[in-house]
Amino acid sequence: MSILYDEGQQAIATESRRALEARVSKDELLPLLQTQGAYHQPFWTTAKEQGWTALALPEAHGGLALGLIELGLIAHQAGRTLSGAPFLTSSFGAAKAIELYGSDEQKARWLPGLASGETIGAIAFAAGPDPLPAEPAVTLTGDRLTGIAGAVSGGLSADVAVVLASGPALVLVDLTGVERTAVDSFDNSRCIADLSFADTPTETLATGEAARAAALHILALQAVVTAHEQTGGAEVLMEIARDYAVTRKAFGQPIGAFQSIKHRIAELYGLVELARANCIHAASREGQADFITAAAAARLSATEAYDTAARDCVQIHGGIGVTWEIGLHLHMRRARSLALEQGSSFFWEDVLVDRLAGDEA
């Protein structure tokens, strides 16, 4: 069953939107595309100051003990303004892995820093195109890790990573001294890096089937946060397209009076509302048996909404839409980087159908 947001949750949405719109501008985001290793500091400072880093973490370790619903609302607003760094999601994923599968000692060591935002976390599960590989790319021998975890979002800045290693095993790695190579990507503020482990010490969180199940759960939690961010991006693009279509004129009338334009925008409305509905539902199902199914549905509809909105919003703008200055390409880039982070649509389609067909519990 889905939910209606309560007053507190609505206040979080309003307040986070106000804070982000005041602090984030495309003029500051554009130069980051052509720089490696830099993220938008004001975004992350705002996230820390506003307590968003602590939002969904336990009170005992400096968190605010709210959940996916509230974090989703922040992510939605971050999607609208384009978040300046991937850490809201990546640190949350790492923190949840430690909270759910770590020892008391590990929680005490890492969670307060992740909650305050002083520590940045990352997740490294993928091997090539596979977000949850049966044969992870990095090898665990004893408690030592060797090999390259490729294209880790936030990896350039992270202090701690949760890694899916051979075994399989889910391990916690202090990234101090670990070699990172920046990936020059189309969306550089994601701080994507290859992490090279060389006999790096680890601590185990889970092993065997439990490690895979844990990794999928963390991926699903992050996917729901990301889906909110994607929906926010799609929503703002729909609004930008609408605003342009009522002001720009051609053949003596606003272009929004042409059905080829207005229907395109109405279709975007449909995609945004379906994604939003799936996001709200998924966030409300955390901890329930159908959470993974709900997360997959949210992820699929949000990816479709953001990609389509990016494509169509640029198209509706015509020539001006493809210029560097107008910055719609920031959304094109972000739509694609968010589509790849936390597993592509192919992955989530399989996760979903396995469940619908009864092949997975």
Partner 1 sequence: MSDLEAWRAKAAAWCESMVPAFGKAARKGLSVEDDLALGRRYQKAKFDAGFAGINWPVDLGGQGLGHIEKITFEAEEMKHGFPNVYFGISLGMPVPVLMQFGPDRDFVKERVLKALQGEEIWCQLFSEPSGGTDLAGLRTRAETDGNGWKVNGQKVWTSWAQYSDYGVIVVRTDPTVAKHKGLTYFWVDMKAPGVTVRPIKLAGGDSHVNEVFFDDVKISDDHRMSPVGGGFAVALATLMIERYVATDSAGFGPHLDLFVDLAKEVRLNGRPAIEDGRIRQQIARNYAMRAGLDSINVRARRMMEAGMTPGPEGSLNKLVAVRSRQKLSELALDLQGAGGFAFDEHASPKDDWASSWINAPTGRIAGGSDETLLNTIAERILGLPQDHRPDKGIPFNQIPA
Among residues 144, 248, 262, 311, the one that binds partner 1 under rule CB under 8 A: 262
Q: Decide: is 278 part of the binding site for partner 1 (CB under 8 A).
A: yes
Q: Where are the alpha helices (DSSP H) in the chain?
A: 7-23, 26-29, 41-49, 68-81, 87-101, 104-116, 208-247, 259-284, 291-317, 328-340, 345-356
**Under a CB-based contact definition with an 8 Å cutoff, are residues 227 and 280 in contact?**
no
When the beta carbons of 280 and 330 are compared against partner 1, the nearer one is 280
**Under a CB-based contact definition with an 8 Å cutoff, are residues 302 and 234 in contact?**
yes
Provide, rounded to whole angstroms, the least separation between the CB of residue 335 and partner 1: 17
**Under a CB-based contact definition with an 8 Å cutoff, are residues 355 and 293 in contact?**
yes
Q: Decide: is 80 part of the binding site for partner 1 (CB under 8 A).
A: no
Please tell me whether residue 139 adopts helix, strand or coil conformation: strand
Q: Decide: is 269 part of the binding site for partner 1 (CB under 8 A).
A: yes
When the beta carbons of 201 and 270 are compared against partner 1, the nearer one is 270
Lookup result for tokens 């720089």: 35
Q: Which positions from 105 to 124 touch partner 1 by CB under 8 A, shown as an x/- string?
A: --------------------
Stretch that binds partner 1, among 15-23, 143-151, 261-269, 334-342 (CB under 8 A): 261-269
Longest dimension (CA), the chain: 73
When the beta carbons of 52 and 306 are compared against partner 1, the nearer one is 306
The identity of residue 164, as a single letter, is: L
| 151: phi then psi, degrees, rounded to nearest 5 | 50, 60
Among residues 277, 326, 336, 344, the one that binds partner 1 under rule CB under 8 A: 277
Q: Decide: is 130 part of the binding site for partner 1 (CB under 8 A).
A: no
Q: Decide: is 228 part of the binding site for partner 1 (CB under 8 A).
A: no
Please tell me whether residue 357 adopts helix, strand or coil conformation: coil
Q: Decide: is 212 part of the binding site for partner 1 (CB under 8 A).
A: no
d(CA 225, CA 282): 10
Provide, rounded to whole angstroms, the least separation between the CB of residue 233 and partner 1: 17
Lookup result for tokens 């998924």: 282
Task: Give me the residues that bind partner 1 (CB under 8 A), please.
Answer: 1-4, 238, 242, 245-246, 253-254, 256-257, 259, 261-263, 265-267, 269-270, 273-278, 280-281, 294, 296-298, 300-301, 304, 348-350, 352-353, 356-357
